[in-house]
């Protein structure tokens, strides 16, 4: 159902949401920049809180600067000028928008500008109407006026190409949104010009060894290389074995697969995956959702917004069924995000409190993944007295459905390392290491424990014991595997930072919602903080399905630092943030090793180590504005 969230000024020519969708910037034909905010974070209604005139002519494009660098926008105006504006407070005065910098190019207009964050450095790519492209780097993260020109390029694959003076009408730039320390900076760029060599979209990568930008892929078939490009969009990559880039021309929107690994010549192979036709005019703008599965477009074809769900991304020979909670329009929402109804995924609605509803979903399946657990218990419910009883009953009902189906070979239960505490039974200390023989006692008395986490730990421990007992049933023909996952870190397709990631980055963010207390609770129960990357968790579940014969208990953890070691790594490698002062003076704890060799001896390999897990968790926090730079934190507390 459509709902109005803001009333824009008459003559609005462009709009832009910030990275969190919490602020809206708009520009008008007569040069006014307006900022809309919601007075209530829980509300979806926005009102104008700032309105300033930044130019005599019209504003044609607004781009927000990444949130870790403050509240700032880049504005491109009709005369081709580019200016940066930041919301700051000076000498105790209220917040207001101030001009930081203006970028000029004699005889040429700015067509597009986009920002990318690479290894704590902010870069800006600017495309001009003469076909030239400039890459700027911010010298001081706390001064948005200090920019340095890093490179100047032209959008051609052959550096010796010659052509006359180009006239470009528009340009589109999109950074690779999934940058990490193992990747070099990269972006895709296309032009709408009168010069065929410039038009086709090229992927540019920074060559660190020679400090230069190189074109490594061209996203066009041989006959299409001169086609004018209206828009490009690089999709977030959550676990794909290739990158996904959308390119809009007059022939439609082409979806390209781009390989992750270059060949011997440094080139990336490309493959045309799909052509989304049906567009009658130019596509002005394209944007992927956070999962890289849905593409939104707008343009001159008479449709306000077109939503394309990427069914072409589904490439599997498996037939799958999934049970979803009973909420209004659940199936439609899931399909909109993850695929069409003509795929091999069949959806069912079921309630864990009504076990028989899972029969249809499980019937005919060979493998069942039980990944959910009740997190809230309705106090008015008379079916179960508490969350512990509900969790055990839910696990038991799924196992019973598996046996009843007579088709299920293996049940894979997502467990937690919190059920494998190495604490001695008398509470005098820890065993030498944690392995699958360890079980967490039900009568824990700990400093950092809350009733909620104790109930969760007890529920998961007893539920795991319950499902493992099915391995002892003779003639059941059901193998049960429990995968005890460590604290899960890494990127997300969610629109918010997952709780487990919040726990990992809590030394920087503080004890919001008890996240730092949760980190200390894990250490107190286990003697360390077992960590695992989200991609490894997914791969481990698949591994447990594909292994010919497998049953029993398996720890899933790639690293086991203490809280002190996590904080030391954060401070040493991410000085742009700072540890909350009240978390500095804490007693040292002897780290207890989490022995997950049992799973590795079966043949499983971890791709994520502690460094990668923490770094990607920080990237997730930065992207979703859960982290602030030191100067911003200082200004907020002063």
Q: Which residues are catalytic?
A: 460
Closest to 202 measured CA to CA, from 173, 223, 169: 173
Distance of CA 91 to the CA centre of its chain: 37
| Residue 318 burial by Cβ neighbours in a 10 Å radius (0-12, 13-18, 19+) | exposed
Asked if residues 15 and 62 have their Cβ atoms less than 8 Å apart, the reply is yes
The CA distance from 77 to 56, in Å, is 9
CB–CB of 520/504 below 8 Å?
A: no
DSSP state of 222: G
Q: What is the rounded CA–CA span in Å between residue 332 and residue 326?
A: 12
> Is residue 577 classed as helix, strand or coil in its secondary structure?
coil
Residue 481 near residue 413, CB atoms below 8 Å: yes
User: Integer distance in angstroms from the first to the last C-alpha of the chain?
Assistant: 43
Asked if 200 contacts 226 with a C-beta cutoff of 8 angstroms, the reply is yes
15 Cβ partners below 8 Å, 6+ apart? Answer: 8, 24, 25, 26, 27, 62
Backbone angles phi, psi at 610, to 5 degrees: -55, -45
Task: Starting at the earlier edge strand, list the strands of the sheet with 231-234.
Answer: 231-234, 242-249, 252-259, 270-276
List beta partners, residue 306.
Answer: 297
User: CA 572 from chain center: how many Å?
Assistant: 24
* C-alpha dist (Å) from residue 378 to 324, 352, 353, 381, 455: 19, 13, 11, 5, 14
Cα–Cα distance, 236 to 244 (Å, whole number): 8
DSSP H or E stretch at residue 123: strand 121-128
What is d(CA 35, CA 322) in angstroms, rounded to the nearest whole number?
42
């Amino acid at each position: 159902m459509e709902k109005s969230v803001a009333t824009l000024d008459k003559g609005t020519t462009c709009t832009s949401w910030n990275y969190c969708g919490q602020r809206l910037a708009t520009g008008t034909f007569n040069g006014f920049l307006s900022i809309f905010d919601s007075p209530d974070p829980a509300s979806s209604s926005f009102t104008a809180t700032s309105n300033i005139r930044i130019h005599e002519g019209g504003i044609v494009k607004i781009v927000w600067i990444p949130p870790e660098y403050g509240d700032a926008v880049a504005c491109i105006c009709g005369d081709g000028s580019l200016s940066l504006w930041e919301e700051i407070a000076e000498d105790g005065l209220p917040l207001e928008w101030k001009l930081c910098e203006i970028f000029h190019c004699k005889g040429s207009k700015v067509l597009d500008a986009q920002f990318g964050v690479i290894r704590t450095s902010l870069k800006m790519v600017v495309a001009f109407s003469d076909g030239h492209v400039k890459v700027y780097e911010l010298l001081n993260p706390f001064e948005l006026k200090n920019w340095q020109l890093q490179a100047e390029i032209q959008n051609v694959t052959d550096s010796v190409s010659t052509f006359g003076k180009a006239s470009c009408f528009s340009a589109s730039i999109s950074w690779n949104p999934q940058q990490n320390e193992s990747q070099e900076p990269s972006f895709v760029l296309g032009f709408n010009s009168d010069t065929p060599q410039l038009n086709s979209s090229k992927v540019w990568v920074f060559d660190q060894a020679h400090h230069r930008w190189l074109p490594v892929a061209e996203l066009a078939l041989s006959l299409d290389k001169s086609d004018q490009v209206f828009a490009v969009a690089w999709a977030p990559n959550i676990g794909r074995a290739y990158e996904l880039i959308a390119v809009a021309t007059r022939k439609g929107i082409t979806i390209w697969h781009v390989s992750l690994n270059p060949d011997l010549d440094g080139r990336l192979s490309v493959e045309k995956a799909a052509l989304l036709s049906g567009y009658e005019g130019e596509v002005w703008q394209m944007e992927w959702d956070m999962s890289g599965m849905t593409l939104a477009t707008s343009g001159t074809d008479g449709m306000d917004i077109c939503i394309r769900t990427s069914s072409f991304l589904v490439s599997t020979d498996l037939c799958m069924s999934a049970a979803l909670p009973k909420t209004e329009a659940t199936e439609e929402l899931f399909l909109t995000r993850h695929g069409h109804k003509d795929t091999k995924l069949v959806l069912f609605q079921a309630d864990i409190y009504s076990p028989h509803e899972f029969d249809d979903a499980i019937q005919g399946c060979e493998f069942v993944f039980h990944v959910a657990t009740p997190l809230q218990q309705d106090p008015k419910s008379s079916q179960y007295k508490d969350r512990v009883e509900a969790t055990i009953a839910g696990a038991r009902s799924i196992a019973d459905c598996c046996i009843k189906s007579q088709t299920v070979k293996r049940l894979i239960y997502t467990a937690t390392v919190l059920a494998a505490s190495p604490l001695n039974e008398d509470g005098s200390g820890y065993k030498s290491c944690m392995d699958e023989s360890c079980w967490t006692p039900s009568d824990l008395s700990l400093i950092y424990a809350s009733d909620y986490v104790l109930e969760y730990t007890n529920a998961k421990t007893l539920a795991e014991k319950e499902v493992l007992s099915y391995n002892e049933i003779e003639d059941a023909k059901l193998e049960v595997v429990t995968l005890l996952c460590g604290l899960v870190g890494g990127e997300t397709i969610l629109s918010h930072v997952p709780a487990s990631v919040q726990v990992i980055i809590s030394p920087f963010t503080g004890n919001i919602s008890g996240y730092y207390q949760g980190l200390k609770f894990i250490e107190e129960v286990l003697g360390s903080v077992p960590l695992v990357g989200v991609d490894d968790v997914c791969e481990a579940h698949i591994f447990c399905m594909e292994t010919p014969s497998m049953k029993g208990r398996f720890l899933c953890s790639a690293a086991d630092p203490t809280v002190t070691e996590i904080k030391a790594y954060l401070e040493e490698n991410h000085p742009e943030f700072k540890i909350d002062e009240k978390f500095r003076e804490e007693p040292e704890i002897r780290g207890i090793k989490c022995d997950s060799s049992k799973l590795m001896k079966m043949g499983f390999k971890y791709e994520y180590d502690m460094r990668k897990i923490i770094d990607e968790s920080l990237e997730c926090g930065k992207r979703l504005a859960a982290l602030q730079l030191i100067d911003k934190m200082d200004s907020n507390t002063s």
